[in-house]
Amino acid sequence: MRFLLCIAIASLIFNSSARAGDHIWSKKGTVVSTVVGNEGIGKVGPLEIYSPDRSNRVEVMFVDSGGTRDATPVIALYKGENELQLPLYGAPTELEILWSPDSQSVAVTGSDTGITNWTKIFRLRDDKPEAVNLQPVQQDMAATYPICEGQNIEEAVCRAEKNGDQFNYATIAWADATTAVIMAEIPCSSSQGGMMCQVEGYEIDVRSGHILRRMTARELKRRWQSKLAWNLRIPDGPYLKPKTPNASGSK
């Protein structure tokens, strides 16, 4: 039985490479670039990113969109020879693939804009891939950094991001076969007001989505800096709106 895992990106200027030596979020990840270049669709074959035991793989293919340099990237997840597919939404310009040490889960982190990024984690099953529920992480970020309480927050941002699902997320490491390490960040944009650039870390059980450990930026750096592809800067704390005295004037 075949299940298709696809990214459809219309009219994308095409050149792709899998660069094991370059990293964006995780030092162990494999980067796939889907834009820029002059080769054209006919000159770059499918890219294969194998699991540690080489029994499973992520394959990036390209379908002609009608022009010599326009293509639709398609990402397929293979368990053995069975093709397991699931849509990844958006139009990422770069992706990073990070397999779990037991080859049974894979994290895909992508960036659509260069400022924002997202992550999705899949556990392989015989008949379909299972998406890991990351809502506990999103909800914890929303509670830890209530975006609407930041100084100078744009009202549209407050409405769109108060649930935490629009923040930045990246899978940066695997603590073990079933524990993924995720970095969460309020985007570093002035539109985020006084909450911009705030960082938390999470170790999650991919079997349940439960948070096993929540880390401040400082603890995340101490525990996982060696796996990060860049030097994590500890942000200043958030800048909150001044408290408004109640009508009675009591403190």
- Calculate mean pLDDT across residues 3-18: 33
How much of the chain, in percent, has pLDDT values that exceed 70? 75
Residue with tokens 């008949």: 127
Which residues are CB-contacts of 13 (< 8 A; sequence separation ≥ 6)?
35, 36, 37, 69, 70
Q: How far apart are CA 109 and CA 236, in angstroms?
A: 26
CA distances from 29 to 25, 48, 90, 116, 164 (A): 7, 13, 20, 18, 25
Rg value, the chain, Cα:
20
CA distances from 166 to 27, 36, 157, 186, 240 (A): 24, 26, 10, 9, 20
The region of weakest confidence among 42-56, 65-79, 135-149, 236-250 is: 65-79
Q: How far apart are CA 51 and CA 184, in angstroms?
A: 25
Digit-coded pLDDT (tens) for 156-212: 989 999 999 999 999 999 999 999 999 999 999 899 999 999 999 999 999 999 999
The total of other beta-carbon atoms located within 10 Å of residue 153's CB is 21
CA distances from 129 to 21, 39, 105, 107, 118 (A): 28, 33, 9, 12, 18
Q: How far apart are CA 230 and CA 80, in angstroms?
A: 34
Residue with tokens 């996982």: 224
- Is residue 70 classed as helix, strand or coil in its secondary structure? strand
Identify each DSSP E strand in the chain by its residue range: 12-13, 17-19, 30-33, 47-50, 56-64, 70-79, 82-84, 94-99, 105-111, 117-123, 130-131, 168-176, 179-185, 199-205, 211-216
- Calculate mean pLDDT across residues 129-153: 94
Residue 23 has a pLDDT of 85
The more confidently predicted of residues 128 and 15 is 128
pTM: 0.83
